[in-house]
Structure 1
Amino acid sequence: MVSYQVKPGDTLAKVAYHNKVRTEDLLACNRDLLSAQDYIKPGAFLQIPDPGPGDIMLDKIRCCYEYGFRELEEDKQQLTAFTCETIGQSRMGKPLWLFKAGDGPYKIFLSATWHGNEWLNTWLLMEFLKTLQQKIQQKESWRGLNIENVLQETSIYAVPLVNPDGAELVQEGLYDGHPYYDEINKINYGYQQFHHWSANACGVDLNHQWPAGWHEEAQTSPSRPFFRHYGGEAPLTEPEARAIYTLTMKEEFSAVIAFHSQGEEIYWGYQQQEPPVSREFAHRLARASSYRAVQTADSKAGYKDWFIKEFKRPGFTVETGVGQNPLPFEASARIWLTALPLLLESLTFFDFTKERTR
């Protein structure tokens, strides 16, 4: 048994994984200090048990520990086949990274973790991009798709982590010196668990920030900063939302998919303003993933809603999981196996912007 000093960004699952022990054994060794719901604080000391018998490393298609901005910063160094650039910053100054590959006229935009407690979709998109790079470099097909040919017709844009501050709060808790310490404590009534938190660092829901029914949605949403559903004082007040807005207006995507994680459903409409082809595309995604295609959700002011309203092009909200957010690590295998064919199918849509001029 050895002693380990906790570093910034550590969680129980990360410490267990990197020391090749089970989280349960780590908890058992530190039961006087921790419970399974506790955040571990930088500077604290943990006792690391000796590794047990057998291989505790999980299959590579499963997420083994919390994935946030630190992991993305490390993994982006591997994505040399992609153009990588920042499109803006979060409230706390974290960069919002955009990855791009392909030169085709059909532009598909993928985004994830609009809500802090849906960070597992950041892991999903980064695994997708890393595996896609392998296929590009090795000139391999992927589930029957010739990737080289696809990228001649398709341009992939991805922002895997729209809300890095919210994800950090969910994963690591509130620490001394946090720029929004007092505000978050007030919003959360002093409660020191944040697994329910979906907003950004100052209590604004980034998927309720969009000028598509914003005023109507505000009538039934919190009227002040809150951990969910508060749409801000006005549309597009938050730097994260403005960064996605500026990118979208600049690139004028052919289609967009915003990943969330509740229900295994695909929402594809907004007030009958979506183009007729959206139904076809939605059902193609549904067949590929086994998710359910649903025309409208009982909400407004979302990014997908605004995109449809602004461009009259296909926009989708894809809900990848079932259960309570944040979904457990064990859900990652099911998410990968169902969302991967959906992602690949989305690369094969035709360029709707050209279709409109025929």
Structure 2
Amino acid sequence: MKCFIQQDITVSKLASLLKIPRQLLEDCNEGLSKEIYLRGTNAALPALSVSNSADCGLRDELSVYIKLHNIPAYLPAPIIHLKETYSSTDCYSDIQLLSNSFPFVRKSVIGQSVLGQPIIELSLGRGPKKVHLNGSFHANEWITSCVTMSWLFEYVTALLEDSHYRGYKARDLYNETTLSVVPMVNPDGVDLVLENLPKEGSLYEKVKKINGDREDFSQWKANIRGVDLNNQYPANWEIEKIRKIPQSPAPRDYPGDRPLTEPEAQCMAQLVKDRNFDRVVAFHTQGEEIYWGYLGREPQEAEMIVNEYAALSGYLPVRDIDSHAGFRDWFINERKLPGYTVELGIGSNPLPIGQFTEIADKSRGIFWASLYM
């Protein structure tokens, strides 16, 4: 967050006082080129760690240079807005909290949903390896969004605390890997499942009709127009179009009239093209399986990576499934690079929030291995 500089201080000295690498401070202030923060200017600083914020001597020295009253001490809670559900409003609130408290996390709006809600990418790191993660392609799999957000909070906390995972230092991973996360690909669908639509208006009637005139949307996977976003990609899309039972908009499985008709699918495809990722991991529910192959077009390293994911999570690696037109399928088909679909948890969708801690803990290693593998 922005803080007022009340005495000239070098960037290096301020980083030292905050007990963080200079690069994190530079990344909080994108485009920083000066060596000195001048008195009377503002600088974006990360939240102080709980331990540092309790250090009276540190605060006294910092207060000579900056006003401290508006620098928050972050808490080690993984998700601030974790309640009974995790709607787009909850996700956006956590995204804002994350980007305000840790300005080295870059926030970009990469597109809009059918209803005009922002689809947000969070990115951080300086490394040459580019890894992308996403959640909530499917509406009733919304728990994937709060799980991925919890891992992000854990990672930024580890960066400030200079901690590690299984011997891999978070700050080293920051220099090795540039991480991209789209926590909620399908915000309209998530909100439909969790909150329903206002009963007034033509959209409600259209969506209700797609749902067989039922007002229970808990089994809805598609976007708000009844198109399954994970059946929208040009990787043998024609096969899925012919064999899918729904031939018109439906709560699930309808691939659309042609590939990439939906704005949510379009912006994710464009993100891949713009960022040139080396790997993608899409989080879905449920089954505790990891799908990692596509028609033999995956590279040899894909098996080594999935074996590490499996060892850390206990999930079952599955190389080949009879499915096409998914985001991961398309990425492997186009790029010949590793792509994974991870089915989090066990049970029936939508998985209850009561499983959040168990899911996040059991599959945490997949997140960290995505940074160091």
Asked if these proteins are the same fold (TM beyond 0.5), I'd say: yes
- Alpha carbons 2:220, 2:251 under 8 Å: kept: yes
- Secondary structure of 1:180's partner? helix
For residues 291-331 of structure 1, the C-alpha deviation after alignment (integer angstroms, 9 at most, x for no partner) is 00000222110000000000000000000111111001221
- Alpha carbons 1:187, 1:226 under 8 Å: kept: yes
Greater Cα radius of gyration, structure 1 or 2: 2
- Alpha carbons 2:78, 2:150 under 8 Å: kept: no
**Aligned partners of 1:95, 1:143: CA distance in 2, in Å?**
35
Cα offset, 1:137, TM superposition: 2.1
In the alignment, which residue of structure 2 is the partner of 1:107? 130
Change in Cα spacing, 1:169 to 1:62, as seen in structure 2 (3 Å) is closer
In the alignment, which residue of structure 1 is the partner of 2:323? 299
- Alpha carbons 2:109, 2:120 under 8 Å: kept: yes
For residues 179-200 of structure 1, the C-alpha deviation after alignment (integer angstroms, 9 at most, x for no partner) is 6212211111221101100000
Letter in 1 for 2:331: F
- Alpha carbons 1:261, 1:319 under 8 Å: kept: yes
In the alignment, which residue of structure 2 is the partner of 1:31? none
**1:65 and 2:76 correspond:** no
For structure 2, the 5+ residue unaligned runs are 1-76
**Aligned partners of 1:200, 1:136: CA distance in 2, in Å?**
35
Aligned Cα root-mean-square deviation (Å): 1.7
Larger RCO, structure (CA 8 Å, separation 6 or more): 1
**Aligned partners of 1:179, 1:123: CA distance in 2, in Å?**
31
Aligned residues with identical type, % of pairs: 38
Which of 212, 235, 241 aligns to 2:235? It is 212
- Alpha carbons 1:63, 1:330 under 8 Å: kept: no
Cα offset, 1:72, TM superposition: 1.6
- Secondary structure of 1:330's partner? helix
- Alpha carbons 1:255, 1:315 under 8 Å: kept: yes
- Alpha carbons 1:180, 1:202 under 8 Å: kept: no
- Alpha carbons 1:110, 1:159 under 8 Å: kept: yes
**Aligned partners of 2:166, 2:147: CA distance in 1, in Å?**
17
Which of 179, 186, 194 aligns to 1:156? It is 179
- Secondary structure of 2:131's partner? strand
**1:175 and 2:198 correspond:** yes
Which of 251, 264, 269 aligns to 2:288? It is 264
**Aligned partners of 1:99, 1:115: CA distance in 2, in Å?**
19
- Alpha carbons 1:187, 1:203 under 8 Å: kept: yes
Cα offset, 1:62, TM superposition: 11
In the alignment, which residue of structure 2 is the partner of 1:312? 336
- Alpha carbons 1:85, 1:98 under 8 Å: kept: yes
In the alignment, which residue of structure 2 is the partner of 1:84? 107
For residues 101-143 of structure 1, the C-alpha deviation after alignment (integer angstroms, 9 at most, x for no partner) is 0010111100110000000000001111112111122222234
Which deviates the most, 326-335 or 229-238? 326-335
- Secondary structure of 2:230's partner? helix
- Alpha carbons 2:163, 2:170 under 8 Å: kept: yes
Cα offset, 1:60, TM superposition: 6.9
**1:273 and 2:292 correspond:** no
Letter in 1 for 2:158: K
**1:118 and 2:137 correspond:** no
Change in Cα spacing, 1:239 to 1:340, as seen in structure 2 (3 Å) is same
In the alignment, which residue of structure 1 is the partner of 2:210? 187
Change in Cα spacing, 1:213 to 1:178, as seen in structure 2 (3 Å) is farther
Letter in 2 for 1:294: V
Cα offset, 1:232, TM superposition: 0.6
**Aligned partners of 2:202, 2:351: CA distance in 1, in Å?**
27
**1:94 and 2:117 correspond:** yes
In the alignment, which residue of structure 1 is the partner of 2:151? 128
In the alignment, which residue of structure 2 is the partner of 1:234? 258
In the alignment, which residue of structure 2 is the partner of 1:198? 221
In the alignment, which residue of structure 2 is the partner of 1:55? none
In the alignment, which residue of structure 2 is the partner of 1:289? 313
In the alignment, which residue of structure 2 is the partner of 1:3? none
Cα offset, 1:174, TM superposition: 2.5
Letter in 1 for 2:271: L
- Alpha carbons 2:79, 2:150 under 8 Å: kept: no
In the alignment, which residue of structure 1 is the partner of 2:94? 75
**Aligned partners of 2:311, 2:179: CA distance in 1, in Å?**
21
**Aligned partners of 1:348, 1:318: CA distance in 2, in Å?**
18
* Deviation beyond 6 Å, 4+ runs, structure 1: 58-62
- Alpha carbons 2:79, 2:94 under 8 Å: kept: no
TM (norm. structure 1) is: 0.79
**Aligned partners of 1:60, 1:83: CA distance in 2, in Å?**
18
- Alpha carbons 2:293, 2:319 under 8 Å: kept: yes
**Aligned partners of 1:162, 1:60: CA distance in 2, in Å?**
19
- Secondary structure of 2:353's partner? coil
TM (norm. structure 2) is: 0.76
Change in Cα spacing, 1:174 to 1:77, as seen in structure 2 (3 Å) is closer
Change in Cα spacing, 1:294 to 1:81, as seen in structure 2 (3 Å) is same
